[in-house]
Structure 1
């Protein structure tokens, strides 16, 4: 399939949103009604990012899954599992808190982190060496479910099963205070949310679905508004506004974004977009380590919070891109990059 410029541009925008989620800018200022509302809103408005990666993956992998489901799963999984394992090892070995290393030594800093991971080994299994790596097992879980159903010619059950997983993910996730149902596995991890959104992309392509731009925009604004309203509602239950990855409105929101990108395939048709888009996964894999070290340096140098918040997103992107370009010049690219 010929590269669709708007999809590549969407992936880049989503990458910046992921960086914003993890960098947490403006969480100390400005304070409005005793809360850092700018930072809270930046965090939740960025939550379209990983769902957009999921729906694009489902759309793009659909022909291969239909043609040869398990072969496609194997072809898709191996390079992703390779980089997931490699970066997990890196994150297990590289210290995060440089001050602790200086004061107590490398093993003290790392032992604390390893003990933290072992407090919930099931989640660690589905995340890897650092929390943001949950994306890869979640994506592959969804692809595996689709491949299995296609192989036994039960495609009609894809959306019902995916919807059931999503509902359980909500009930045992953000809606747990209402329903009182807990899951031993954090429902953001694994197949609970990813399967529905990957399946939406898959079904859109399988049935050649399109909608008008006004309807797509309505889905985007309506879904985003619902997501934010849900997050605000849970504040009355004592739950932080900015902890939600997926809510009821999230799939509606990402459908609106996807259909807008689909309706404008030449949007972002620029050689720079094409160059940057091929490094999106690499930057995703390394960006959180870059953020951690920027925070270490900012703390050590007593850099003003506002200056740090204004610069951390572009600085993280630039440093991460340079790091990936340097890796591409070495034999390590076969291990660390897809």
Structure 2
């Protein structure tokens, strides 16, 4: 019987909406602190879900045959790389509009963005995925599953000290110099070297250790407890002004993992088109933000769709979903035409 992963489809759709929330601040006009709890803490489980899903679906295909496993890795990377190239091309007009190619632009800055930071603020995910899957695959082939997780966890800990826990090292000049050196290569440690591998490894663990899953109720309870600890962690770090960037929490690891495990128990309907929506929602939502803001100002409704943060978020979500559905339909058009021609 073919496994039913519709729960993961719905989880990734919800994660895509959380990414939109992270970039629009839905609660900002009501309470900046409430918006921090949503955009600065809760949304931090979204991207880990994407990385874990990638690890889960890639590593469940690996059989132990070195050549076949490497070929599977390359095929997966080729698909992600193609999407990254398309995304870069899509955002060239917006890059031109924002002055990307003028302000502090150089060959070095472009290479840095292509490899680590992304050519727009959300596109860092795709190079992180590419680096992360190769690094995790390397660890997987040379270590036990627990060793792979431990190594990826150490990388994550290094990343946390450059992100949410940066204030801890600020008084230690040697560490500061090391991290300052890193920040000449990339803007954040939330990248394919330090951030992505541990979540991809957790996805691989979920794929290779299915008997350790437990019941849905247990996973839901563990998720709730971990999420509570993540909120406490985020609140304490924020109050102490420790983070350089609020993106890498310690308790995001168990919270994201148990959420992912819980979603494996969800049942429902989903299709390939819906499955691909979340990809395009993620890719296209910055355009939706620009279009909503521009249209609102043009028709003098900025007091509603810009200043009212929840309405702004809702409008961006709706437009992102419409654009995603259109992109999926456009993507499917050549296949539909090809299938129709077979009947003539």
Indicate the residue corresponding to 1:16 in structure 2: 17
Once residues 126 and 132 of structure 2 are traced to their aligned partners in structure 1, the CA distance between those partners, rounded to angstroms, is 10
Q: 1: CA distance between counterparts of 2:258 and 2:146?
A: 23
Q: CA deviation at 1:227?
A: 2.0
Counterpart check, 1:86 vs 2:86: yes
Aligned to 1:48: 45
Q: Give 1:180-195 correspondences, 5 Å limit.
A: 180=170, 181=175, 182=179, 183-184=182-183, 185=186, 186-195=188-197
Counting matched residue pairs gives 311
Paired with 2:75 and 2:125, the residues of 1 have a C-alpha distance of 18
Distance 1:281 1:71, change over 3 A: same
Task: Output aligned runs, 1:1-338, within 5 Å.
Answer: 2-27=3-28, 29-31=29-31, 36-43=32-39, 44-67=41-64, 68-91=68-91, 93-95=92-94, 109-112=99-102, 115=105, 122-152=112-142, 155-180=145-170, 181=175, 182=179, 183-184=182-183, 185=186, 186-208=188-210, 209-238=212-241, 244-264=246-266, 266=267, 269-271=268-270, 274-302=272-300, 303=302, 304=304, 305-306=307-308, 307-329=311-333
SS of residue in 2 equivalent to 1:30: coil
Root mean square deviation of aligned Cα: 2.8
Gap change, CA 1:218 and 1:46, over 3 Å in 2: same
Report the equivalent of 1:103: none
Distance 2:10 2:204 in 1: 20
Q: Which runs of 5+ in 1 are unaligned?
A: 97-105, 332-338
TM-score norm. by structure 1 comes to 0.81
TM-score, normalised to structure 2, is 0.80
Mean Cα deviation higher: 17-26 or 252-261: 17-26
Q: Distance in 2 between matches of 1:132 and 1:107?
A: 17
Structure 1 residues 226 and 119: alpha-carbon distance in aligned structure 2, compared to 1, 3 A threshold: farther
